[in-house]
Each structure stands twice: as structure tokens, then as C-alpha cells.
Structure 1
């Protein structure tokens, strides 16, 4: 009789477990009445704090399911589902990371699904604009993970796994301390457009030794750089810092260095600029886009570490062209500090002023034993390798097919270009005065609206004109007339 009772209990436990795990995972917790919305797929997004391009094994991340920052509508959702899966559907060993609920808020909005493993769903139908959870990445050699989400505003309007509701993360590659092989000659026929993300990783946790006591002062300066031809990087190890680089180290301003890059325009394709990162956002990412071609296939850029005497992070002659004539699809590279050689002080901050008589030194890499001085925040008596200060994530966005002509002129410099591209000037407007002095105006716009954030191109021009009193016309200077003399006023629009 006792054996029979045990068998019954085991059977009930099996049925209970099977109810959760043996059934097919139905990701639709609500009976919707219409197909999913595919017209506004970027309304909602999966956001990960710091916007990482890859995951570090066993590291915990703050993941949000929310209304997109650039959404044109303000909506709330009642139901949702967030899950993590292996990109390889046949992979069964291990788990695709683990979710944890964020507690401590006035209302806990998320809970674990009773039917789908490793899945988070809503706790109630309370309308919400954002839900936050923790996700711990899987162990090493787990491959790529895909986060997927479904958001349901109502039974008639819902979104699932399109656009930003799917997020792919792959494990950090082992070669992130090694640059791609540099080529003497790039044979790519196409041109490529890249996004570069500068991600800060410099914190008290990653670099505890002598970390600045005033955490609010920690910062990466504006990023400045260029895509350029071979042998035309604006900085190199063992070279001396240029005047523009020295000014960046002393004043945190990139203006002089940008001017130097413009003077090298015959060897540059795109000037790269991105905004600074400052605490408490120092571990987030800042972005820029640029283009490369078979002549200008390398990238160099820098950002000053603040506070510091003259330390910076960056890359010099970073190669994006492959030996087979194609362009890298993506690449992540760790950044470690360099000393610009313009200030001989050791620590992040020093009570002593800079020595005006110090002799400039060549640019050098800072390591755990260079300088071999215990006052250095990166010094390690055991020779332990330091953590990276920042990371660069290169992502190819687009290819532009070009005629494949590699001849005598293949090394000729391509015209310089920045991503601050503008439309052509409009024709001059007619004179504002019917008789006597007036004004005429012409304008142009950026081809990309985002350029307003960092570009400083001239967008409006005005010039004086004279209305024709004799003929009582709108103005003697006709639309598009370039022959009349006029005094021009140049206006630059700069986003605040």
C-alpha cells in the first residue's frame, strides 16, 4: 500500500513538472484579435545599460523593455514577454543566461513565466512604458544569445520580435587586444560606411588603484579622429605629439587637432567626431559614422582620460580592409592608456603644477610596469594585466558598389569628406525690398538630421541687394543671379 502511495505521489510530481516544461511554449499570453503591427516596428525596444555590442561571460546586465527614445507616439502596454535563447536553436547544453526580477520598486511589474523557461512576463494589466530586469550572461563558449520580446498594447495592436524587439549579443572574442592585420594595399572595389561606438569601461571597480576621489570629475573628452590613407595617422607610438594633440591634453579641446586634420584633407576620407562621456554616464557609449574606401582604409582616433596629466586612449592605423578585398563586418577592440609625452606627472591628479621646463617625450603605451613607478595607478608589482579603459565597436552599416578599377591612380588621394554632408544650396531668394537696400537669402540642410548634434557647417547665407526703383520690380537681383555684387553674411547653425 505504501509503495502504491509513493508511485501516485511521484506521478503527480511528474505531471506538475510536465505541465510547465513538457507543453509547447505559447508566447502569446493574450488572445489577440489582429495580426501583429509591422508598420511601426521601432516603437518599442530592448535596451541594455551601456549599450554593449557583446557580452562578458557571467556578467550581469540591466535590461529594459521600453518605449523607444525616438518614438513619435506616447503609448503604454499592458502585456509583454521577454525571453533569451541561443542563436543556434539546436544548442541544448547550458542556458542562454538567467533573468532576475528587479525588486524594490513601488510596483513589481515582472515575473517568471509559468509556461516558458527563461522567460519574463507581466504581473498585471497595469499600463506601463518600461519594465526593467536583470540578465546574467551565460558562461564562456556559450555562443551568441538572442533576446526577444513581445509587447501588447491591446488585443488589436501588438508587436513581436521585429526591429529593436530582437537583440543579438555574442561572447566577447578572445582577440579584442589585437588589431586586424594591416595591409600595404587594399583591393576592395566597394566603399563602406561604418558606425563606431566608443564604450567607456573605466570605473572604480575595474581600476581601483588610485582611482580619482572625485568620481564626478571622471570623463572621456570628445572623440576626434579620421579615416585616412596608409601612413597618414595623426599620432603614433614613439612619435612626438603634434601641437593639436598637445592642446587636447592641456585644454581638453579638439579644435586645434581638428584643424590639423583638415590640413591633411588630401589624405583623409572622413573626419570622425563623437561626444564626450562623463560620470555617471562614463560607462555608456557615444557614436559616430564614417566612410572608407580602397585608398582611405585605416582609422585613427583618440580621447583624453580626465583627470590625467596627458593620458589618452585610442587607435592608430586601425585596418578595416581585408586581404581578400572585402570589409570587416564588425570588430571590437580594447583600449588601454597612452602617455602623450607632454606632461611628466605620474598620477591622475597632482598638487604640483605642470613643469614648464619639462622636455617633450615620445608617445608611449602605459602598462602595468611602464612607467615602473608605484605611484602610477596602473602599476602592478606582480605584472597583472590591467583591464581595458574603454572599447571600440566597429560595425559595418552599408556597402557602396564602385567600379573596380585599380590602375596607376589607385594611390591617388580621394577627396576629403565628413559625415556632415549637406544638400546643395538653394537659389538666392529675390530681394526683400521693392526699392532700395534689402536682403537676399539662400540655405541648405544636412542630409542626416542627426548631424545637427555635432556638425558646424554653414547652412544659411544672406547678402545685401538693391530693389529696382525704376521698374518697381521685386528686386533687381533675380533668383539665382550670381553676377550682382553683394555683401554676404554667413550664418552657422550649431545645436546646443
Structure 2
């Protein structure tokens, strides 16, 4: 599968939604949620950094058809009464299509309908796909006091229905905009596909499950690509950094359309990004023993029979070495007359 690129139709749709959303009158928000009273708009730079390296996530790391990579980022600036997605809730059809296929049309339609129904959406933002598990993408966006929250999704490619993202990051603190926000990101399962591995074929989950965070022990199945029973916690698979760059008096939300992904999205080298290299130990995994073979030997003497097993997963990063793959034991030869 090639890196995911939005079609021209989606570009136009994003612009249309943003234009419509900005022209809608505000509605009252719930009184039990802290109000943002910042008097001016704020502009932020968003930087997404992929940390999905083979050293940090050695188990079944996808190296081809397709290799590890990230989809476009799709985000929304909104009020407190809107949720693009929520942990422990069911994924919408739009979130389902995006997490499974990287298709954003239905998700954008849902955003448009929410903007028309509850006047909760201010703008839509997007950033280009990253060619590789480690790399960066960035964009800029604008927020206002009535719509001070940011939510976004990035699909893990390849995967059944896995993604990273954030739900309702509040960029406002009273009457001030936050200067910096940084979040480590971990994988989520949209609950719509039952595959265990990055390259699992499509196998619809019926009935649909709720969105859950994937951990080193959940789902607790050895076939799971993120199953590392020796770890208490998975290392972060990505990171998002939000930096307030300047005040803005623009009268319309900023929309950044994604570019075609290129190799220039790869992580800078040297001291440009100070990230400690994570080496996650991967223990050897072997199959169950085969049945014992026939007893071989001369009649009247003790014979020997064998059984074998094979390697399912080779160790990596100083993980436990593989045990013996063959055993023998004494026996009485078969078919002696």
C-alpha cells in the first residue's frame, strides 16, 4: 500500500467545511467546564514525530509491503461539546474508515454535520503523511476562545484499525493561551477490525468494540504485534508538540492542506532532535513440540526417538535466547520380532 494522500475532492471539502463552520453563530457551552476567556486568537505550530523504530518495536516490524509509515494527520479545532473520538466509546463510521483505510471523506462529513448542528467546529487542519516509522510532519492552525480544543488522528500504516491521536487538548488556561503542550502518543484500537498483527487481513469485528488503548499486555495474545510481556509499559510510538508561535488577528481559520509525502519527512540527524534510542528486548518465541517420532534402533537394544519445535520469533535487543529445538529420549525399538 502506498502512503496515503488526500484526493483533490477532500481538499475542497476541507475548505468548504472550514468556511461554513466559521460563519455559524456560537451557542452556549456547558457551565461545568472551565471557560476560556482569552481575548485574542492564537496561532500554533503542530509537530508530529514518529518514534516507530525497529529497535523500539522489534516484534513483527513491517519492513515491506508496505513498510512502517504514518498516514496524513487530520485534526479539528472545536468547543468542549464536540468529540472527534473518545477512548472507551464506539468509533464513528468516519473514524472507522480512517483508522482502517486512511479515507477521510466520511470523517469530514461528520465534522461538517457537527458544525451545522451544534456550532462546535472552528477549523480543520491536516499535515502530510510520513514515509517511514520515524519522521516528522508539521502544520499551523488557529484557535479562538470559543473553540480552544484540538483533536486529531493519525493512522498507523500498516495495521488493521490502529491509530494514534488525542481527544480534546485544551490550549487555553483561563485568559491565557498555553505556550507549549507536548504529549507522548500510544497506539489505539478502533474496535472495528479483529486483526492482531500489522499485516492482518481485514476481519470485521462483530459486534463492534469500543476504542481501547493497546498496551504491552493488552490484548493479551502472543500473536499481537504490540505484545511485550516483559514490559510494564510500551515505549511511546509517537509524540505531538504544540507551540504557540504568535498572536493572530485573522478573521478566518487557518487551513493547511497536506502535501505529497516525501523522504524529506525523515527525522533530522545529529543534535537537531535529542531522542534517547530505545531498544526493546524481544524474547525468542518457539512453537509447541511436535509429536515424538518413531523409535529407531536395533532390536534388543535401546532405541532413540526425537521431537522438534521451530522458531516463531527470533530474539532481538538482548532478548532471551531460543531454547533447544530438538529433544531425544530412549525407547524400545518398534516392530521388533
The TM-score range, normalised by the shorter chain, is: 0.5 to 0.7
Q: 2:215 aligned with 1:367, yes or no? A: yes
Q: 2:122 aligned with 1:277, yes or no? A: no
TM-superposed CA distance for 1:214, in Å, is 2.0
Show CA shifts across 1:422-447 (max 9, x none).
xxxxxxxxxxxxxxxxxxxxxxxxxx
Write out the 4+ residue segments of structure 1 that deviate beyond 3 Å after TM superposition: 450-454
Q: 2:164 aligned with 1:329, yes or no? A: no
Does the CA contact (< 8 Å) of 2:126 and 2:257 recur in 1? no
Residue 309 of structure 1 is matched in structure 2 by 160
Q: Point out where structure 2 has 5 or more consecutive residues left out of the alignment.
A: 1-31, 261-337
Distance 1:237 1:306, change over 3 A: same
Residue 419 of structure 1 is matched in structure 2 by 254
Structure 2 distance, partners of 1:219, 1:255, is 21
SS at structure 2 position matched to 1:278: coil
TM-superposed CA distance for 1:251, in Å, is 2.1
The 5 Å alignment of 1:438-449 reads none
Does the CA contact (< 8 Å) of 1:194 and 1:395 recur in 2? yes
TM-score, length-scaled by structure 1: 0.43
Show CA shifts across 1:169-217 (max 9, x none).
xxxxxxxxxxxxx963212222101111111110101111221242852
Q: 2:94 aligned with 1:244, yes or no? A: yes
Structure 2 distance, partners of 1:216, 1:248, is 17
Structure 1 distance, partners of 2:136, 2:220, is 32
TM-score, length-scaled by structure 2: 0.62
The 5 Å alignment of 1:389-404 reads 389-400=237-248
The 5 Å alignment of 1:343-492 reads 343-350=193-200, 353-356=201-204, 358-400=206-248, 418-420=253-255, 453=259
Residue 106 of structure 2 is matched in structure 1 by 256
Show CA shifts across 1:346-388 (max 9, x none).
11112xx433462111101111122122222222323432111
- Report the structure number with the largest CA radius of gyration: 1
Distance 1:401 1:311, change over 3 A: same
Distance 1:192 1:341, change over 3 A: same
Cα RMSD of the aligned pairs, angstroms, is: 2.4
Distance 1:386 1:294, change over 3 A: same
TM-superposed CA distance for 1:452, in Å, is 8.7
Q: 2:170 aligned with 1:319, yes or no? A: yes
TM-superposed CA distance for 1:319, in Å, is 1.2
Does the CA contact (< 8 Å) of 1:189 and 1:401 recur in 2? no
TM-superposed CA distance for 1:453, in Å, is 4.7
Residue 147 of structure 2 is matched in structure 1 by 296
Distance 1:452 1:321, change over 3 A: closer
The 5 Å alignment of 1:32-47 reads none
Higher relative contact order (CA 8 A, sep 6+): 2
Show CA shifts across 1:128-186 (max 9, x none).
xxxxxxxxxxxxxxxxxxxxxxxxxxxxxxxxxxxxxxxxxxxxxxxxxxxxxx96321
Show CA shifts across 1:312-347 (max 9, x none).
000001111114x21111122111000000001111
Structure 1 distance, partners of 2:205, 2:225, is 24
Structure 1 distance, partners of 2:71, 2:259, is 16
Does the CA contact (< 8 Å) of 1:230 and 1:317 recur in 2? yes
TM-superposed CA distance for 1:276, in Å, is 0.7
Residue 268 of structure 2 is matched in structure 1 by none
Distance 1:349 1:451, change over 3 A: closer
SS at structure 1 position matched to 2:216: coil
Q: Which moved more, 1:382-391 or 1:187-196?
A: 382-391
SS at structure 1 position matched to 2:173: coil
Residue 327 of structure 2 is matched in structure 1 by none
Does the CA contact (< 8 Å) of 1:231 and 1:317 recur in 2? no
Structure 2 distance, partners of 1:452, 1:240, is 28
Structure 2 distance, partners of 1:297, 1:255, is 24
Residue 320 of structure 2 is matched in structure 1 by none
Q: Point out where structure 1 has 5 or more consecutive residues left out of the alignment.
A: 1-181, 403-414, 421-449, 455-496
How many residues are matched?
A: 226
Does the CA contact (< 8 Å) of 2:89 and 2:210 recur in 1? yes
Residue 263 of structure 2 is matched in structure 1 by none
Structure 1 distance, partners of 2:131, 2:65, is 10
SS at structure 2 position matched to 1:355: coil
Does the CA contact (< 8 Å) of 1:183 and 1:321 recur in 2? no
Residue 209 of structure 1 is matched in structure 2 by 59
Structure 1 distance, partners of 2:164, 2:204, is 24
